[in-house]
Amino acid sequence: MAFTYCCADGRNRMSDEISKLPPHVQERLLRLQQLQQTLQTVLAQKQQVELELTEIEQALSELQKMADDAIIYQAMGSLLVKAEKAKVTTDLNERKELLNMRTQVLGKQEERLRGQLKDLQAKLQKDLGPISPS
């Protein structure tokens, strides 16, 4: 939710309107923007974690199809290093477990932020309800 737009006379009309609001309403609007930005950050992090989880699950699936003595190379920075299947599988499963926990934490954060946004939006609607446009 952006609160600024420019007019032909160069003034910032939305900011002028916001400055006429009571201070507690201005603070709530600012808090609403902050919560929305935080939610966007959490959603982006969650998407990134889920993407990595999908990649790990695909790698584990491919490893299951391979013989135990198959030659496997694991990425280490910009290098590919020869590794044992059991070690790579263990490392991937540990990473998967960690990412699953991270997904749960991000999900709880998302839920909490959505609740806070909903509460704040309801308060703002109540605050702004009696105001009629001029």
Whether 133 maps to a domain, the answer reads: no
Cα-Cα end-to-end distance for the chain: 21
Q: What is the pLDDT of residue 22?
A: 83
Whether 56 maps to a domain, the answer reads: yes
Whether 1 maps to a domain, the answer reads: no
Q: Count Cβ neighbours within 10 Å for each residue of 59-97 and write b for 16 or more, e otherwise.
A: beeebeeeeeeeebeeeeeeeeeebebeebbeebeebbe
Q: Count up the domains in the chain and report the number.
A: 1
Question: Residue 124's domain spans which residues?
Answer: 13-128
With 80 as the cut, is the pLDDT of residue 126 above it? yes
Whether 80 maps to a domain, the answer reads: yes
Whether 85 maps to a domain, the answer reads: yes
Judge contact between 32 and 40, C-beta under 8 A: no
Over range 28-50, report the average pLDDT.
Answer: 96
C-alpha to C-alpha distance for 8 and 103, rounded to whole angstroms:
47
Whether 99 maps to a domain, the answer reads: yes
Whether 30 maps to a domain, the answer reads: yes
Whether 66 maps to a domain, the answer reads: yes
For the stretch 45-89, pLDDT in tens is 999 999 999 999 999 999 999 999 999 999 999 999 999 999 999
CATH at residue 92: 1.10.287.370
With 70 as the cut, is the pLDDT of residue 38 above it? yes
Cα angle value 15/18/21 (rounded, 5°) = 155
